[in-house]
Every structure is written in C-alpha cells, then in structure tokens.
Amino acid sequence: MWYLYHGENNLELREAVRALLGKLLPGDTATFNMETLTAPFTLNELQRACATMPFLADVRTIIVPNSLGKDKGKGKGKSNDRWLPDLLTYLPTLPATAHVLFTEDKTLPAKHTLLQLAKEETQGKIRSFPLPNPRELPQWIVERAQQHGSPIERPAAALLAENLGADLRLLDQELRKLATYRGDERAITVADVRLLTPYVMSADVIFKLVDALGKRDPRQAAQHLHRLLDAGEHPLGIMAMVTRQFRLLIQARWLMDTQRSSGSQIAQRLKQHEFVGGKLRDQATSFTQAQLRQAYTLLLDSDLAIKQGQLQPEAALDLLVAELTRL
C-alpha cells in the first residue's frame, strides 16, 4: 500500500501519521522497519528502500515528507520533481512487504498526478487535513477539548478562536493547560480562558484600548494601557499589538470605502475570525483614512523614539495615547 496525507492542519496530520504507523508497525521491531527519505532523492533510492526486507516482521514503512508539492498535474507543464512520472509507474508495483507514506504540509491541488493515481489504484489511500475555517474553528475547539477530557463552553471556545485564530498547535496547548487547571468535569469557562491565556486577555484589552482611542477618550485609553503594563506586557509588545490593530483598521477602512464590505467580508479578506471582522468594521468607522495614516505615522515615531532611547518606553506609550486621542 501507499498513503498520502496532506494539508495545512499539521497538528492532526501528525497525529494521524502516528496512528497509522502504530497500525503498520506494531511491536518492538518498529524502529528497525521504518525509514525516512528526505528530498531530494532519486527513484532508485526509493526502490532500494522498498526492496529491503523487513526485520522480524511482515512489512516495513518508508516515509517520504514534502516531496510532491510542486507538481502541477497532468498536462500543465513539467513537474519540478523529475522522478515523479517514473514514481507513478512504480507505485502500482510496490512489493507486498513495503508501505510508502507520503506527507505534505500543504494541501495539494486536486489535479495533482498522485491524487489522480489514487482514484485509479486501490493501493493508494488519500487523506487531506485542511485548516478549519473561521466559522468551523469554535466547533473544532469544542471537539478538541472533549478529546482532552474537559468540555468547554461555546463562548469560551469562541473567545479562543477570536484571539488565537487557526494556530491549532497553540490552541491545543492552551486547551491542555485549561483542562489540567479545571481537573474535573465542569466546563471550561470564559473566565478560565481569560485567567490562564494571557494573550487572550491582552488582545481583549487592545480592542478596548482602540475603542477608547476611536471615541477620543484619553482617560479610558490610558486605563487600558496601564492595565496591560501592570499585567507585565512589555512596552514594545504593546506597541506591536496596537500597530497590528491599526494596520488591520487601515485595510478594513479601505475595504469599506472602496468595496462597501461588511464585517464578514472584511473577516474573509483579512483572514480573521468573523467576530474580529465585525469589530474592525465598527472601529474603522471612528477614523477616516487620513486619520488612520496619521495614526500609523505616530506609531512609527513612537517606536523609533523608544528604540533610539529618546523616550522611556512607558512615557512614549502615554504620549502616544494622548496624541492618538487628539486625531
């Protein structure tokens, strides 16, 4: 048999690979019957690996990572991997004692020649691992939390999705930490997420800080700024988060002005969660394009003042907040 696992969801792809290897290579001889071929390599090297007899077992497995992604499919130009056409001829003749597992960290195009071969040959098994889209992500988090033995409330899952996005490894890491913290059958709550996931707290406060800037409320903006500082956020980290938010606002404002985009359309174009798209649209209405450009210039000046030692970091941030509320 030969297998192809591909997609950007590297977390679940790796888990599926481990599960498959556990089935293909049971027992204490697994280490002796597994080989990894790293590109570039020749077809002869693959054939040699497949022809090697298993050690005290019925089969051996050859793993071939990230060697197929540049093929453009039949009839669409030459493959960048010269051995691929010969590989297509060789795979149906694999020895009964060999399994080959191809893994790709990107989703292959539907017309990729190996995907086409799998439709024609019963020996080929394909599994794709796409990233969940923003609408699906909260449900993915709910299901993943259940796998870790700890249910999570839907609003808590949505909060993680909004702030961490589709970084599945980070999400999984946070869910493990939250499940350990709960240590019982009670569901993970929004309060748990805000307590144990510092980035979520910081992102939430950044939204509130920018809201206050949009309302030209220096008192509220300063309170949110110092809440971040008191929580231990580094001034340059705060600067980076505020800059990122204004960069998104500039793009959102442009989409609103030129294409009359809704919050969901903004989220789709900027690859953000739908909730974030709505927030960006609401915040962008508080600024004109000219004001956003001016804000970005102020952010650059403050960043340089800190890095060049012209101002102490906290003083630079206080001055920045005052200037942004006067736009």
Is residue 188 within 8 A of residue 291, CB to CB? The reply is: no
Give the confidence band of 70 by pLDDT, cuts at 50, 70, 90: low
Q: For 188, which DSSP code?
A: B
Cα separation, 301 vs 310, in Å, equals: 11
Query: Who contacts 192 (Cβ-Cβ below 8 Å, separation ≥6)?
Result: 156, 178, 181, 182
3-state secondary structure of 140: helix
Mean pLDDT of 235-241: 88
> Could you give the 3-state DSSP secondary structure of residue 250?
helix
**Residue 11 in contact with residue 169, Cβ under 8 Å?**
yes
60 by DSSP, 3-state: which?
A: strand
Q: What are phi and psi of 25, to 5 degrees?
A: -125, 65
DSSP percent split of the chain into helix, strand, coil, nearest 5? 60, 10, 30
Annotate 193-217 with DSSP letters as a single string: HHHH-HHHHHHHHHHHHHHHHHTT-
Highest mean pLDDT among 101-105, 114-118, 167-171: 101-105
- Domains of the chain, first to last: 2-128 (3.40.50.300), 137-196 (1.10.8.60), 199-324 (1.20.272.10)
Supply the DSSP string of 2-15, one letter for each residue: EEEEESS-HHHHHH
Q: At what angle do helices 168-182 and 154-164 cross, to 10 degrees?
A: 140
- Who wins on pLDDT, 207 or 103? 103
Q: Report the distance separating Cα 257 and Cα 267, nearest Å.
A: 15
* Span 139-145, average pLDDT: 95
Three-state secondary-structure class, residue 125 = strand
Six token digits for residue 322? 């005052």
pLDDT 10s digits, 169-203? 989 999 999 999 888 778 999 989 888 887 676 77
Say if residue 273's pLDDT is above 80: no
Place of tokens 């839907």: 154
| Calpha distance 67→46 (Å, rounded) | 12
Predicted pLDDT of residue 194: 83
Query: What does the alpha-carbon distance between residue 203 and residue 31 come to, in Å, rounded to a whole number?
Result: 45
Averaged over 223-237, what is the pLDDT? 86
Mean pLDDT value of segment 241-266 = 92
pLDDT of residue 82: 63
Residue 274 pLDDT > 90? no
pLDDT surpassing 90 at residue 222: yes
Q: How would you list the strands of the sheet with 2-6, edge to edge? A: 34-36, 60-65, 98-104, 2-6, 124-128
3-state class of 150 per DSSP?
Answer: coil
Helices (H) and strands (E) in the chain, counts: 15, 5
pLDDT of residue 257: 93
Residue matched to tokens 């960043």: 303
Q: What is the pLDDT of residues 201-216, one digit of tens each?
A: 677 788 889 989 999 9
Cα separation, 80 vs 71, whole angstroms: 6
